[in-house]
Amino acid sequence: MNGKKNLTSKSELEFIKTIHNTIIDHLNGKDKRLVRSLKTSDNFKSNINFSIDDPNDHQDIKILIDQYLESAVNTASPHFYNQLFSGFSVMGYIGEIITAITNNSMYTYEMGPMATLIEKELIKKMSNIIGYKDGFGTFVSGGSNANLIAMLAARDKINSKSKKSGLFKSKTLCAFVSEEAHYSFIKAGYQIGIGTDQIIQIQCDLKGHMDTDLLLYQIDKALSEGKTPFFVGATAGTTVKGAFDPIKKINKICKNFNLWFHIDGSWGGSVMLSKKHRNLIRGSESSDSFTWCAHKMMGLPLICSVILMKNKNILKKINNVSETDYLFHGNDHDGMDLGIYSLQCGRRVDSIKLWLAWKYYGDIGYEKRIDRLFDLAEYAQAIIEKSTSFKLISPVESLNICFQIQTKHLNKSEWNFLTNETRERLVNKGEIMVNYAMIEKQCCIRLIIVNFNLEKSHLNIFFKSIESISKKIIKENKTN
């Protein structure tokens, strides 16, 4: 090869510059744009050609990109409270661009030399934070996938023959999670072959913590039925209440019965970066595995998740198979080929965005940001507690604030309607987006505090908007 021919034509480079300018304009206007487009699916279908048929030129593609950016939910807005992620990360954005333009893969060192070293360093750092001094891990496609891999590792521990022989003729395996745990555990039960009926959900207290007395009861019950308990999944930051299960109590039970102890820290794992709040997961070093999603409380773009293992050898044991000579050539560069530790084959470089962000902020920068989020959550909680219109539905333990709109002008039986209708009208205005949930048959607004650019002034606007809309609904009902 003479090396003279450019891989990208002049017109393509000009188009890239055009789109980059479009992105800059988009970012400059992110605080002015609606959080949610007011257009309906019918509007989109009538104005955008979604079919894939004839070729399009750069101008056509530019129009489609503009339309997508206009329609996309503005998750960067401080008024996006809808999910367990929010905000825009400059380092995350840059990392995603580098990942895309280099298009390396994580299966071998040969195919991603610096990416391999970056991932290994991050896994070592995160393992040490959790308390796994000689642990290991891998980046995965999300928290659900991480929980699945943890259960797969637990299955291998209790039945090492299952990798080759399956679960036929073996005793019924059963796992235990709280009723507030993520639904991915239910799916994992199906995916690893034990069945969804064998994922036993343990009741929680009013705060959302797993009841360890009931956990003990259910384990004894399973044993009396001839089943084989093998896994307990604790949650560090539940999806609705933001609750943290009692790690030390659960660990004691797991040790007594020789059960695999997993912590799903998808949402709350990042509190380990805060000296002030890491006590919420005190005892994490006692667990066998840990899920951590940096795209949530650390503010990175989706997806940025890891599964961490105390036993550094287990990932290779459960994921490495034969018939891979075409990829792994016997020389893994002194343990550098990470593909043998992964459930995936081709795997994008999700690590670089986290590495750049952590390099930029440092430990102290992330600690300050997480502490500030907790301060803002306390501020929001104080507004609710002082209000005569709002009522906390569950105690606030972290960054989830669940409250109901209540009024003496409506019957209690109508408070669910009032809360839900207020939320619907608020979201349909497009300026604020927040989710709702049901807790003990009570409809509540689930406010999530996770955007690093969130200010008290934004929260003031949020609560005033809620109050204004709810008063209007109450007035309408009086009239009727």
In a domain, 382, yes or no: yes
CATH of the domain at 163: 3.40.640.10
Q: Is 359 exposed, middle or buried (0-12, 13-18, 19+ CB in 10 A)?
A: exposed
Helices 184-191 & 143-158 angle (0-180, nearest 10)? 50
Shared domain for 367 and 315, answered yes or no, is: no
pTM to 2 decimal places: 0.95
Q: What is the pLDDT of residue 210?
A: 99
In a domain, 455, yes or no: yes
As a whole-number percent, the residues of the chain with pLDDT over 90 amount to: 91
Q: Could you tell me which of 110, 141, 48 has the C-alpha nearest to residue 334?
A: 110
User: How many other CB atoms sit within 10 Å of the CB of residue 120?
Assistant: 17
Q: How far apart are CA 92 and CA 158, in angstroms?
A: 39
Shared domain for 212 and 338, answered yes or no, is: yes
Instruction: Give Cα separations from 247 to 252, 261, 283, 411, 465 (angstroms).
Output: 9, 9, 6, 41, 39
Q: How far apart are CA 125 and CA 176, in angstroms?
A: 29
In a domain, 33, yes or no: no
Count structural domains, the chain: 2
Shared domain for 203 and 259, answered yes or no, is: yes
Q: Name the band, by pLDDT with cuts 50, 70 and 90, for residue 329.
A: low
Shared domain for 177 and 291, answered yes or no, is: yes
Of 323, 348, 373, the one marking the end of a domain is: 348
In a domain, 403, yes or no: yes
Q: Name the band, by pLDDT with cuts 50, 70 and 90, for residue 2.
A: very low
Contact 153, 288 (CB under 8 A): yes
Shared domain for 363 and 341, answered yes or no, is: no
Q: What is the pLDDT of residue 477?
A: 86
User: Which 3-state string (H, E, C) describes 146-208?
Assistant: HHHHHHHHHHHHHCCCHHHHCCCCCCCEEEEEECCCCCHHHHHHHHCCCCHHHEEEECECCCC
| Residue 144 lies in domain | 105-348
Of 316, 348, 380, the one marking the end of a domain is: 348
In a domain, 150, yes or no: yes
What's the Rg (C-alpha) of the chain?
A: 25
Q: Does the pLDDT value for residue 18 go beyond 90?
A: yes
Residue type, 10: K
In a domain, 61, yes or no: no
Shared domain for 436 and 475, answered yes or no, is: yes
In a domain, 188, yes or no: yes
Determine how β-strand 435-439 pairs with β-strand 442-448.
Answer: antiparallel
User: How many other CB atoms sit within 10 Å of the CB of residue 220?
Assistant: 12
Shared domain for 320 and 376, answered yes or no, is: no
In a domain, 91, yes or no: no
User: How many other CB atoms sit within 10 Å of the CB of residue 279?
Assistant: 11
Q: How far apart are CA 299 and CA 296, in angstroms?
A: 6
Shared domain for 218 and 330, answered yes or no, is: yes
Q: Is 117 exposed, middle or buried (0-12, 13-18, 19+ CB in 10 A)?
A: middle
As a whole-number percent, the residues of the chain with pLDDT over 70 amount to: 95
Shared domain for 414 and 316, answered yes or no, is: no
* HSE-CB of 37 using CA atoms within 13 angstroms: 13
Of 285, 315, 348, the one marking the end of a domain is: 348
- Give 143-166 pLDDT, tens digit per residue: 999 999 999 999 999 999 998 889
CATH of the domain at 429: 3.90.1150.170
Shared domain for 316 and 382, answered yes or no, is: no
- Give 79-103 pLDDT, tens digit per residue: 999 999 999 999 999 999 999 999 9
Shared domain for 199 and 339, answered yes or no, is: yes
Shared domain for 194 and 161, answered yes or no, is: yes
